[in-house]
Amino acid sequence: MKINLLYDNCRKTWPKAVCAFANVCGDISCAIWFVVLVPQIWKNCKRRSVEGLSILWATANFTASLVNCFFAFSFPLPVYIRVSAAYMPFLEFAILLQFWFYSKHSVRMKLTYGAGCFLIWIAVISLELSVADAEENLQWLAIVLWSIESFPQVGSSI
Buried (b) or exposed (e) across 26-46, using 16+ Cβ within 10 A? beeebeeeeeebeebeeebee
Whether 155 is covered by a domain: the verdict is no
Print pLDDT tens along the chain (158 aa): 445 667 666 777 878 888 888 888 878 887 888 888 999 999 999 999 999 899 999 999 999 999 999 988 888 877 777 888 888 999 999 999 999 999 989 999 999 999 999 999 999 999 999 988 888 888 888 888 888 877 877 766 55
Domain count, the chain: 1
> Which residues are CB-neighbours of 54 under 8 A, at least 6 positions away?
152, 153, 155, 156
pTM for this structure? 0.79
Whether 7 is covered by a domain: the verdict is no
Q: Where are the extended beta strands (E) located within 1-133?
A: none
- Closest to 117 in 3D by CA, of 61, 50, 34, 47: 61
Whether 38 is covered by a domain: the verdict is yes
Q: Which domain holds residue 27?
A: 16-148
